Chain A
Amino acid sequence: MTVEEYNTCVDDFSDGIYRFILKNIRDEDEAQDIVQESYMRMWERVNHIQYQKARSYLFTTAYHTMIDRLRKNNRLSPIEEAPEHETRQHNNYSDLSEVLSKAVDTLPVIQKNVVLLRDYEGYSYKEIGEITDLNESQVKVYIYRARKALRNYIGSVDKVL
């Protein structure tokens, strides 16, 4: 990858990675730090990474950096279990995307991440698996569970359609 391509990666992907991380860690400074670190690591290996793989490399690095940090600080609640969440009516919102944005925060970390990668970035099950070290069918199961949980969070249908 050339310096120019590297810089293009900054323009094209840093926003997406930042949004993804920020949705997990609600600390802007730390999220920015993780983005920076990911680019720094890519820069160290810039001669070995193909431009076509850069986005994936960045997301993978950012994801693992984030999980490591959460784990280190004991901020990683059980990664696979959801906090019990009763179905209720969230009708304080007028906008479905706002509801969903809140709802996704109630998901277990891993479900949340696979669904964010899917929706924010449009990654396939396979690509998500590569980023998160899961196999394709695990990714699929997590996404299905996440959708069900999101659905339950919303509550009554009339309010949002």
Chain B
Amino acid sequence: MRITRANYEVYFVDYFDGRLSQEAKEELMRFLEAHPDLKEEFYNFDENVILQADSDITFPKKDILKKQETAKAKPDPEDYETWFIAYAEGDLNREEQQQVERFVDDNPALKQEFLIYQKLSLKADSRIRYPDKKRLKKKSQRKRTLLARYAGYAAAAGILLFAGLFWLIRQEAPERQEKNISQLPHYEVEKISGNQTLYEQPPKLIRNNADKAITEPLSSKDRNQIERLTKMEPLTEKKININNRSITNISPRYEQTSEYYYQTVMKDLEYLEALSEYKEKTLPGKIFYRIKNAIAPPEDYYVISEGFSPLKLLGITSKSFGEVATNTLPENITIENNNSNTKKYGIKTGILEITHKRTLEEDQ
């Protein structure tokens, strides 16, 4: 921008505020040489425009505004809850923590109260799991459609498995059996028929099966889980009615619980899915699988999670099993419980057949 008579004031102000570049300063000087009347104005500029605050004037009432430092708040017998909470929440600094600790030492009657505030933290029930993670996941388009189709079938297989298990419970005499390895939950998957037998190396079922759990020393993780599950004492004295039979004294070990069984089943369902996918790659056609020799936990192997349902655990809603017969779905088992009327569910042993079916038409 050129300096003109119309805008020179801006340059004056900027000059005295020290905001002009070297180049602009030089231009300003050239401008002043060319306009002697303005040169005079320029040299008179700064004394006229810069104001000074009068340092003699002071605010007379500072004292009114100032605050007295109050005695620092401390826990006292009338007001300790907030301190105890803050301590438990980790909101206190080291000094304040020590203050609370000293207060508790001085007031032994409040010691228990202090301890209880530290135990108020809620724990999520780790047995509750989102049942349908697979469906939330995303895959490439082609793969997804195939998997979606098979996920449905695999889920249906799961349904039938449980359905069969429930069916059997109603057939069986209510005898108690000795627990031995053969009764621990397990089952086998077998291809029983179908037009095609072309796959040469089907994927292997890798399963941490029940036998292993009983014959091998438990890992510390397993041991913790067992401990956690067997700690669920409340069930021991409760009456459970299954088809008018009462069962009491339940205290399952981990590998006797449905949680364990569920893990096993899930592994197998994954296997079925993998198998289907494998088959897809070799040759399309009808495939049937049978789950045979399925043995679920005996009678007192029991599901103990509140809200547990075999269907829910598998993430199966009615949409998932469309074509599959639904008349053998598990029934809920109600546990009579002094504290609440929660419904709980069980899984029982049985033999069943699942049909894992695809047709050539579907592929075309």
Contacts and interface: CB of A to CB of B under 8 A. Distances in A.
A120 B121 CA distance: 9
Contacts of B206: none
B322 interface: no
Interface residues of B, number: 39
B1 interface: no
A18 B128 contact: yes
A11 B133 contact: yes
A104 interface: yes
A143 B120 CA distance: 11
Interface in A135-161: 140, 143-144, 147-148, 150-151, 154, 157-158, 160-161
Contacts of A23: 124
A158 B119 CA distance: 13
Contact of A22 (B85, B115, B128): B128
Interface string B129-155: 111110111110000000000000000
A76 interface: no
A15 B116 contact: no
A43 B307 CA distance: 29
A96 interface: yes
A138 B338 CA distance: 38
Given A28-B312, A43-B138, A151-B81, A97 B123 contact: yes
A115 interface: yes
B138 A36 contact: no
B130 A35 contact: yes
Interface stretch (A2-10, A49-57, A67-75, A79-87): A2-10
Contact of B117 (A10, A98, A147): A147
A15 B112 CA distance: 34
B132 A15 contact: no
Interface string B87-102: 0110100000000000
Interface string B76-88: 0000011001101
A128 to B, nearest CB: 12
A6 B115 CA distance: 41
B138 A3 contact: yes
Nearest to A11: B133
B88 A16 contact: no
A32 B339 CA distance: 26
Given A10-B137, A32-B132, A43-B138, A95 B234 contact: yes
Nearest to A13: B130
B116 A17 contact: no
Given A28-B312, A100-B120, A119-B121, A14 B133 contact: yes
Nearest to A92: B339
A19 B82 CA distance: 29
A93 B339 contact: yes
A18 B130 contact: yes
A59 interface: no
B234 A157 contact: no
5 contacts: A100-B123, A101-B125, A147-B85, A157-B113, A161-B115
Nearest 5 interchain pairs by C-beta: A14-B130, A18-B130, A119-B122, A120-B124, A157-B112
